[in-house]
Amino acid sequence: MCGMTVVLGTDPASIVRAAACLRQGGLVAFPTETVYGLGVHAMDVTAVHRLFAAKGRPAHDPLIVHVSNLDQAAVLTTGMPPVASALANAFWPGPLTMVLPRHGAVPREVTAGLETVAVRVPAHPVARALLEAAGIPIAAPSANLFSRPSPTTAAHVLEDLRGRIDMVIDGGPTSVGVESTVLDLTSTPPRVLRPGGVSVERLRALLPHLEIFGASVASGEAARSPGLLSQHYSPRTPMALYSGTPDATRLAIVRRIHQATADGLTVGLLATREQIAALGPLSVPVVDLGSEQDADAVARRLYAAIRELDAANLDLILAQQVAHTQGLWQAVADRLTRAATERVAIPDP
Protein backbone atom coordinates (compact mmCIF):
# COMPACT_ATOMS: atom_id res chain seq x y z
CA MET A 1 0.00 0.00 0.00
CA CYS A 2 0.98 3.60 -0.43
CA GLY A 3 2.84 5.72 2.12
CA MET A 4 0.45 8.62 1.59
CA THR A 5 -2.86 8.96 3.37
CA VAL A 6 -5.63 10.11 1.01
CA VAL A 7 -8.28 12.37 2.57
CA LEU A 8 -11.71 11.68 1.07
CA GLY A 9 -15.06 13.44 1.29
CA THR A 10 -18.38 11.71 1.91
CA ASP A 11 -19.65 11.86 -1.71
CA PRO A 12 -20.74 8.58 -3.33
CA ALA A 13 -17.60 8.29 -5.47
CA SER A 14 -15.39 8.58 -2.38
CA ILE A 15 -17.41 5.90 -0.57
CA VAL A 16 -17.03 3.57 -3.56
CA ARG A 17 -13.27 4.21 -3.62
CA ALA A 18 -12.91 3.61 0.13
CA ALA A 19 -14.99 0.43 -0.09
CA ALA A 20 -12.79 -0.91 -2.91
CA CYS A 21 -9.68 -0.13 -0.86
CA LEU A 22 -11.12 -2.06 2.11
CA ARG A 23 -12.04 -5.05 -0.04
CA GLN A 24 -8.44 -5.14 -1.31
CA GLY A 25 -7.02 -5.22 2.21
CA GLY A 26 -6.45 -1.48 2.71
CA LEU A 27 -6.71 0.56 5.93
CA VAL A 28 -9.49 3.16 5.84
CA ALA A 29 -10.43 5.46 8.70
CA PHE A 30 -14.08 6.53 8.73
CA PRO A 31 -16.50 8.36 11.01
CA THR A 32 -18.92 6.50 13.24
CA GLU A 33 -21.36 8.26 15.57
CA THR A 34 -19.01 7.56 18.51
CA VAL A 35 -15.43 8.13 17.33
CA TYR A 36 -13.53 7.59 14.06
CA GLY A 37 -12.75 3.93 13.40
CA LEU A 38 -9.81 2.47 11.49
CA GLY A 39 -11.39 -0.15 9.27
CA VAL A 40 -10.07 -3.28 7.60
CA HIS A 41 -11.65 -6.32 5.94
CA ALA A 42 -12.42 -8.44 9.01
CA MET A 43 -11.83 -11.73 7.18
CA ASP A 44 -8.45 -10.67 5.72
CA VAL A 45 -5.79 -11.77 8.20
CA THR A 46 -2.96 -9.92 6.43
CA ALA A 47 -4.94 -6.69 6.55
CA VAL A 48 -5.70 -7.24 10.23
CA HIS A 49 -1.98 -7.64 10.94
CA ARG A 50 -1.28 -4.37 9.11
CA LEU A 51 -3.94 -2.68 11.21
CA PHE A 52 -2.33 -3.73 14.49
CA ALA A 53 1.05 -2.53 13.17
CA ALA A 54 -0.32 0.85 12.02
CA LYS A 55 -1.89 1.55 15.42
CA GLY A 56 0.97 0.11 17.43
CA ARG A 57 -1.74 -1.93 19.14
CA PRO A 58 -0.76 -5.03 21.13
CA ALA A 59 -2.08 -8.25 19.53
CA HIS A 60 -3.90 -9.23 22.75
CA ASP A 61 -6.42 -6.38 22.35
CA PRO A 62 -9.41 -7.64 20.30
CA LEU A 63 -11.26 -5.63 17.63
CA ILE A 64 -14.94 -4.79 17.19
CA VAL A 65 -16.47 -6.10 13.94
CA HIS A 66 -18.86 -3.64 12.32
CA VAL A 67 -21.77 -4.91 10.20
CA SER A 68 -24.88 -3.46 8.54
CA ASN A 69 -27.58 -5.33 10.44
CA LEU A 70 -28.51 -8.09 12.88
CA ASP A 71 -28.50 -10.80 10.18
CA GLN A 72 -24.89 -10.02 9.33
CA ALA A 73 -24.00 -10.03 13.01
CA ALA A 74 -25.61 -13.47 13.39
CA VAL A 75 -23.18 -14.92 10.82
CA LEU A 76 -20.23 -14.03 13.05
CA THR A 77 -21.47 -15.89 16.13
CA THR A 78 -22.45 -19.44 17.06
CA GLY A 79 -25.09 -18.30 19.48
CA MET A 80 -27.27 -15.24 19.62
CA PRO A 81 -29.17 -15.25 22.95
CA PRO A 82 -32.79 -14.08 22.64
CA VAL A 83 -31.96 -10.89 24.50
CA ALA A 84 -29.47 -9.98 21.74
CA SER A 85 -32.25 -9.43 19.21
CA ALA A 86 -34.19 -7.39 21.74
CA LEU A 87 -31.07 -5.29 22.36
CA ALA A 88 -30.47 -4.94 18.62
CA ASN A 89 -34.05 -3.77 18.14
CA ALA A 90 -33.65 -1.20 20.87
CA PHE A 91 -30.10 0.07 20.23
CA TRP A 92 -28.94 -0.83 16.70
CA PRO A 93 -27.90 0.96 14.68
CA GLY A 94 -26.11 2.74 17.50
CA PRO A 95 -23.31 2.88 20.08
CA LEU A 96 -23.75 -0.60 21.55
CA THR A 97 -21.21 -3.42 21.04
CA MET A 98 -22.28 -6.96 21.94
CA VAL A 99 -19.74 -9.63 22.88
CA LEU A 100 -21.01 -13.02 21.63
CA PRO A 101 -19.59 -16.53 21.08
CA ARG A 102 -17.20 -16.40 18.11
CA HIS A 103 -18.04 -18.26 14.89
CA GLY A 104 -15.08 -20.19 13.44
CA ALA A 105 -15.17 -17.97 10.34
CA VAL A 106 -13.96 -14.96 12.33
CA PRO A 107 -10.15 -14.93 12.33
CA ARG A 108 -8.51 -15.33 15.74
CA GLU A 109 -6.38 -12.32 14.92
CA VAL A 110 -9.54 -10.20 15.10
CA THR A 111 -10.61 -11.53 18.49
CA ALA A 112 -7.06 -11.71 19.87
CA GLY A 113 -7.44 -15.45 20.36
CA LEU A 114 -10.65 -15.13 22.40
CA GLU A 115 -13.59 -17.48 21.79
CA THR A 116 -15.87 -14.45 21.74
CA VAL A 117 -16.41 -11.74 19.13
CA ALA A 118 -17.48 -8.13 19.59
CA VAL A 119 -20.03 -6.86 17.03
CA ARG A 120 -21.70 -3.55 16.40
CA VAL A 121 -24.02 -1.93 13.85
CA PRO A 122 -22.98 1.72 13.68
CA ALA A 123 -25.53 4.49 13.08
CA HIS A 124 -23.40 7.08 11.26
CA PRO A 125 -24.62 7.46 7.65
CA VAL A 126 -21.05 7.35 6.29
CA ALA A 127 -20.23 4.17 8.23
CA ARG A 128 -23.46 2.61 6.99
CA ALA A 129 -22.82 3.63 3.37
CA LEU A 130 -19.29 2.24 3.59
CA LEU A 131 -20.50 -1.10 5.00
CA GLU A 132 -23.15 -1.33 2.27
CA ALA A 133 -20.71 -0.49 -0.52
CA ALA A 134 -17.97 -2.80 0.77
CA GLY A 135 -20.32 -5.71 1.44
CA ILE A 136 -17.92 -7.16 4.02
CA PRO A 137 -17.71 -7.07 7.82
CA ILE A 138 -15.31 -4.29 8.84
CA ALA A 139 -13.08 -4.74 11.89
CA ALA A 140 -12.36 -1.31 13.32
CA PRO A 141 -10.73 -0.06 16.49
CA SER A 142 -10.70 3.65 17.22
CA ALA A 143 -8.42 5.36 14.67
CA ASN A 144 -5.78 6.60 17.11
CA LEU A 145 -2.28 5.42 17.94
CA PHE A 146 -2.43 2.90 20.78
CA SER A 147 -3.09 4.52 24.18
CA ARG A 148 -3.75 7.99 22.68
CA PRO A 149 -7.16 9.68 23.06
CA SER A 150 -9.72 8.45 20.53
CA PRO A 151 -10.24 10.66 17.44
CA THR A 152 -13.48 12.59 17.02
CA THR A 153 -12.39 14.45 13.85
CA ALA A 154 -10.47 13.50 10.70
CA ALA A 155 -7.74 15.93 11.84
CA HIS A 156 -7.25 13.85 15.01
CA VAL A 157 -6.89 10.73 12.85
CA LEU A 158 -4.26 12.42 10.69
CA GLU A 159 -2.41 13.71 13.77
CA ASP A 160 -1.82 10.10 14.83
CA LEU A 161 -1.89 8.06 11.62
CA ARG A 162 -0.92 10.22 8.62
CA GLY A 163 1.30 8.11 6.35
CA ARG A 164 0.42 4.92 8.26
CA ILE A 165 -3.01 4.29 6.71
CA ASP A 166 -4.37 4.40 3.16
CA MET A 167 -7.36 6.71 3.50
CA VAL A 168 -9.50 8.72 5.86
CA ILE A 169 -13.06 9.77 5.08
CA ASP A 170 -13.67 13.22 6.56
CA GLY A 171 -17.26 13.25 7.80
CA GLY A 172 -16.81 16.12 10.26
CA PRO A 173 -16.87 15.83 14.05
CA THR A 174 -18.60 12.77 15.51
CA SER A 175 -21.86 13.26 17.39
CA VAL A 176 -21.54 11.03 20.48
CA GLY A 177 -17.84 11.57 21.17
CA VAL A 178 -17.19 8.60 23.46
CA GLU A 179 -16.93 4.99 22.29
CA SER A 180 -19.67 2.39 22.22
CA THR A 181 -20.79 0.56 25.34
CA VAL A 182 -19.20 -2.92 25.33
CA LEU A 183 -21.69 -5.46 26.67
CA ASP A 184 -20.63 -9.06 27.32
CA LEU A 185 -23.56 -11.41 26.68
CA THR A 186 -21.43 -14.55 27.16
CA SER A 187 -21.27 -14.14 30.94
CA THR A 188 -24.08 -14.77 33.43
CA PRO A 189 -25.34 -12.25 34.30
CA PRO A 190 -24.34 -10.07 31.31
CA ARG A 191 -21.71 -7.45 32.07
CA VAL A 192 -20.80 -4.02 30.82
CA LEU A 193 -17.07 -4.18 30.06
CA ARG A 194 -16.85 -0.54 28.99
CA PRO A 195 -19.44 2.18 29.67
CA GLY A 196 -20.18 4.18 26.52
CA GLY A 197 -22.75 5.76 24.25
CA VAL A 198 -25.68 3.64 25.46
CA SER A 199 -26.14 4.24 29.18
CA VAL A 200 -26.26 1.47 31.76
CA GLU A 201 -29.70 2.70 32.85
CA ARG A 202 -31.09 2.13 29.34
CA LEU A 203 -29.55 -1.36 29.16
CA ARG A 204 -31.02 -2.26 32.56
CA ALA A 205 -34.51 -1.83 31.11
CA LEU A 206 -33.81 -5.01 29.09
CA LEU A 207 -31.20 -6.59 31.37
CA PRO A 208 -32.29 -6.11 34.99
CA HIS A 209 -29.40 -8.23 36.37
CA LEU A 210 -26.73 -6.40 34.42
CA GLU A 211 -23.35 -6.10 36.16
CA ILE A 212 -20.73 -3.45 35.66
CA PHE A 213 -17.15 -4.55 35.24
CA GLY A 214 -15.49 -1.88 37.32
CA ALA A 215 -12.05 -0.97 38.55
CA SER A 216 -13.04 -2.76 41.76
CA VAL A 217 -12.96 -6.15 40.03
CA ALA A 218 -9.94 -8.30 40.84
CA SER A 219 -7.09 -7.50 38.45
CA GLY A 220 -6.86 -11.14 37.36
CA GLU A 221 -10.08 -10.60 35.45
CA ALA A 222 -8.67 -7.81 33.36
CA ALA A 223 -7.96 -10.21 30.48
CA ARG A 224 -11.72 -10.42 29.92
CA SER A 225 -11.56 -7.20 27.94
CA PRO A 226 -7.90 -6.50 27.37
CA GLY A 227 -8.69 -3.03 26.07
CA LEU A 228 -9.74 -2.15 29.59
CA LEU A 229 -6.20 -1.37 30.63
CA SER A 230 -6.53 0.96 33.55
CA GLN A 231 -4.50 3.60 31.77
CA HIS A 232 -5.66 4.30 28.27
CA TYR A 233 -6.97 7.09 26.09
CA SER A 234 -4.22 9.27 27.54
CA PRO A 235 -2.66 12.57 26.60
CA ARG A 236 1.16 12.58 26.34
CA THR A 237 1.25 15.17 29.13
CA PRO A 238 0.92 13.69 32.64
CA MET A 239 -2.62 14.26 33.90
CA ALA A 240 -3.68 14.40 37.56
CA LEU A 241 -7.40 13.83 38.09
CA TYR A 242 -8.96 15.29 41.25
CA SER A 243 -12.16 13.93 42.71
CA GLY A 244 -14.03 14.52 45.97
CA THR A 245 -16.42 17.02 47.48
CA PRO A 246 -16.41 20.16 45.31
CA ASP A 247 -15.11 22.69 47.85
CA ALA A 248 -12.24 20.55 49.12
CA THR A 249 -11.35 19.46 45.59
CA ARG A 250 -11.20 23.05 44.33
CA LEU A 251 -8.94 24.01 47.21
CA ALA A 252 -6.62 21.10 46.44
CA ILE A 253 -6.48 22.03 42.75
CA VAL A 254 -5.64 25.66 43.49
CA ARG A 255 -2.89 24.54 45.91
CA ARG A 256 -1.48 22.17 43.31
CA ILE A 257 -1.43 24.92 40.68
CA HIS A 258 0.51 27.19 43.04
CA GLN A 259 2.89 24.44 44.08
CA ALA A 260 3.58 23.25 40.53
CA THR A 261 4.04 26.81 39.27
CA ALA A 262 6.45 27.55 42.14
CA ASP A 263 8.39 24.43 41.12
CA GLY A 264 8.77 25.94 37.64
CA LEU A 265 6.27 23.60 35.97
CA THR A 266 3.76 24.69 33.33
CA VAL A 267 0.25 23.59 34.25
CA GLY A 268 -3.15 23.56 32.51
CA LEU A 269 -6.64 22.80 33.77
CA LEU A 270 -9.43 20.66 32.33
CA ALA A 271 -12.87 21.05 33.95
CA THR A 272 -16.54 21.72 33.32
CA ARG A 273 -17.82 25.26 32.85
CA GLU A 274 -19.38 25.23 36.33
CA GLN A 275 -16.20 23.93 37.95
CA ILE A 276 -14.15 26.59 36.17
CA ALA A 277 -16.55 29.34 37.28
CA ALA A 278 -16.35 28.13 40.88
CA LEU A 279 -12.54 28.09 40.80
CA GLY A 280 -12.47 31.79 39.89
CA PRO A 281 -9.74 33.50 37.84
CA LEU A 282 -6.63 31.36 37.30
CA SER A 283 -3.28 32.29 35.80
CA VAL A 284 -2.92 29.05 33.82
CA PRO A 285 -4.45 27.80 30.54
CA VAL A 286 -7.93 26.42 31.08
CA VAL A 287 -9.92 24.17 28.75
CA ASP A 288 -13.68 24.05 29.22
CA LEU A 289 -15.36 20.66 28.82
CA GLY A 290 -18.82 22.23 28.55
CA SER A 291 -21.71 22.55 30.94
CA GLU A 292 -22.74 20.06 33.63
CA GLN A 293 -26.29 20.64 32.35
CA ASP A 294 -25.39 18.91 29.09
CA ALA A 295 -23.75 15.47 29.27
CA ASP A 296 -24.10 15.02 25.48
CA ALA A 297 -22.07 18.15 24.80
CA VAL A 298 -19.35 17.22 27.32
CA ALA A 299 -19.04 13.70 25.86
CA ARG A 300 -18.86 15.12 22.34
CA ARG A 301 -16.08 17.50 23.31
CA LEU A 302 -14.08 15.35 25.75
CA TYR A 303 -11.36 13.92 23.50
CA ALA A 304 -10.89 17.15 21.53
CA ALA A 305 -10.47 19.01 24.84
CA ILE A 306 -7.85 16.53 26.05
CA ARG A 307 -5.98 16.77 22.75
CA GLU A 308 -6.16 20.58 22.89
CA LEU A 309 -4.48 20.73 26.30
CA ASP A 310 -2.00 18.07 25.26
CA ALA A 311 -0.99 20.19 22.25
CA ALA A 312 -0.06 23.07 24.60
CA ASN A 313 3.00 21.01 25.62
CA LEU A 314 2.56 21.63 29.32
CA ASP A 315 4.37 19.75 32.09
CA LEU A 316 1.16 18.81 33.84
CA ILE A 317 -2.59 18.74 33.21
CA LEU A 318 -4.89 19.01 36.23
CA ALA A 319 -8.44 17.77 35.72
CA GLN A 320 -11.50 17.82 37.95
CA GLN A 321 -13.71 14.73 37.86
CA VAL A 322 -17.32 15.35 36.77
CA ALA A 323 -19.87 15.45 39.57
CA HIS A 324 -22.55 13.28 37.95
CA THR A 325 -22.56 9.51 37.45
CA GLN A 326 -25.78 8.87 35.53
CA GLY A 327 -26.29 8.31 31.80
CA LEU A 328 -23.44 9.45 29.57
CA TRP A 329 -21.64 10.93 32.59
CA GLN A 330 -20.55 7.42 33.50
CA ALA A 331 -18.65 7.09 30.22
CA VAL A 332 -17.18 10.58 30.60
CA ALA A 333 -16.01 9.84 34.16
CA ASP A 334 -14.57 6.51 33.02
CA ARG A 335 -12.53 8.10 30.21
CA LEU A 336 -11.22 10.85 32.49
CA THR A 337 -10.17 8.21 35.01
CA ARG A 338 -8.33 6.21 32.35
CA ALA A 339 -6.67 9.27 30.83
CA ALA A 340 -5.20 10.19 34.21
CA THR A 341 -1.66 9.19 35.15
CA GLU A 342 -2.30 10.26 38.74
CA ARG A 343 -5.59 9.99 40.64
CA VAL A 344 -6.08 12.23 43.63
CA ALA A 345 -9.11 11.49 45.82
CA ILE A 346 -9.71 14.38 48.20
CA PRO A 347 -11.26 13.09 51.44
CA ASP A 348 -14.29 14.82 52.95
CA PRO A 349 -13.20 17.62 55.27
Cα separation, 7 vs 119, whole angstroms: 27
Asked if residue 100 lies in contact with residue 117, where contact means CB atoms within 8 angstroms, the answer is yes
The binder of 294, among ligand TXA, Mg ion, none, by C-beta within 5 to 8 A per type, is none
Q: Which stretch, 126-134, 137-145, 200-208, 273-281, contacts Mg ion (CB under 5 A)? A: 137-145
Report how many residues bind ligand TXA under the rule CB under 6 A: 29
Task: Please list the alpha-helical segments (H only) found in the chain.
Answer: 12-23, 45-55, 70-74, 82-91, 108-111, 125-134, 154-161, 200-204, 246-262, 273-279, 295-311, 328-339
22 binds ligand TXA (CB under 6 A): no
Under rule CB under 6 A, residue 285 binds ligand TXA: no
Q: Under a CB-based contact definition with an 8 Å cutoff, are residues 204 and 183 in contact? A: no
For Mg ion, which stretch binds (CB under 5 A), given 16-24, 140-148, 309-317, 324-332? 140-148
Least distance (Å) from ligand TXA to the CB of residue 268? 26
Q: Is residue 166 close enough to count as binding ligand TXA by CB under 6 A?
A: no
Region near ligand TXA per CB under 6 A, out of 69-77, 134-142, 243-251, 337-345: 134-142
Within positions 36 to 65, which residues make up the interface with ligand TXA, using CB under 6 A?
37, 61-64
The DSSP output letter for 177 is -
Contact 88, 183 (CB under 8 A): no
Minimum CB distance to ligand TXA, residue 72 (Å) = 15
- Considering only the stretches 46-54, 134-142, 199-207, 333-341, report the one whose residues sit in contact with Mg ion under the rule CB under 5 A: 134-142
Q: What is the enclosing helix (H) or strand (E) of 30?
A: strand 28-31
- Of residues 87 and 240, the one with the C-beta less far from ligand TXA: 87
Given a contact cutoff of 8 angstroms between Cβ atoms, the answer to whether 113 and 60 are in contact is: yes
